[in-house]
Structure 1
């Protein structure tokens, strides 16, 4: 048993000797490294916006504020959502038509950094 422990310790010592540990004092000069801007598909610019999946459903307007609207909507198959009431952000450009409480609408929305935002709204009769 003692020989097995001594053999294991010797192997561990060889591994440590073969792969020197990096200390906090180790430094690497990376000044010559380029960013990812020259790599295809790796743009990291702040104005790069990933394309968002747009989902469509219908619902009834329940509440309106200056920058949000709450809608009791039908299920959203693409997301596996059941029917529910939720709040969506309004586009900041004011591109949607005026909405009224209780109005039946068809609408589309997409996920954004802060949640879900309406993309389009069409009143239903």
Structure 2
């Protein structure tokens, strides 16, 4: 009886170990479920379209965040990115940009909404236009400070 129980336990552990070993490197697998939800729930992430973000990109981005979910970069720091204007609403003071990686924040390329305080900057925005933007943290949001 002990032999059967022991053999069953060994077989079960062997199967579990083999299954775990086959999972290998899942860095290229799209994240779904709890880990990706934790990434998307971080403070300062509202307005970001992270549908194309995988586990590695999310974890890399999280490395640049402190425990409160805000960037480790100073709040007064300026950041820059090349972007394509997806949409904007001058009345609401918002622009949605598909921007490239932002090295100063450790962000991968993504689409997100930014505030625009200086209404004159809207004259430089057109849907589909390729722009180079400067932006900074303002409270919980990021605000475009320059458009080239």
Aligned equivalent of 1:62: 86
1:94: which partner in 2? 119
Gaps spanning 5+ residues in structure 2: where?
1-73
Deviation, structure 1 residue 86: 0.5
1:109 is the counterpart of 2:147: no
Provide the C-alpha distance between the structure 1 equivalents of 2:135 and 2:141, rounded to a whole number of angstroms: 10
Q: 1:51 to 1:83 in 2, by over 3 A?
A: closer
TM-score w.r.t. the length of structure 1 is: 0.54
Query: Whose helix proportion is higher, 1 or 2?
Result: 2
Stretches of 4+ aligned residues off by more than 2 angstroms: none
TM-score normalised by length of structure 2: 0.46
Compare CA radii of gyration and give the structure with the larger one: 1
Using the TM superposition, give the Cα deviation of residue 109 of structure 1 relative to its aligned residue in structure 2, in angstroms. 0.2
- Give me the whole-angstrom Cα distance separating, in 2, the residues matched to 1:56 and 1:81: 11
In structure 1, the gaps of 5 or more residues are: 1-49
Aligned residue pairs total: 72
Instruction: Please tell me the root mean square deviation across aligned C-alpha atoms, in Å.
Output: 1.7
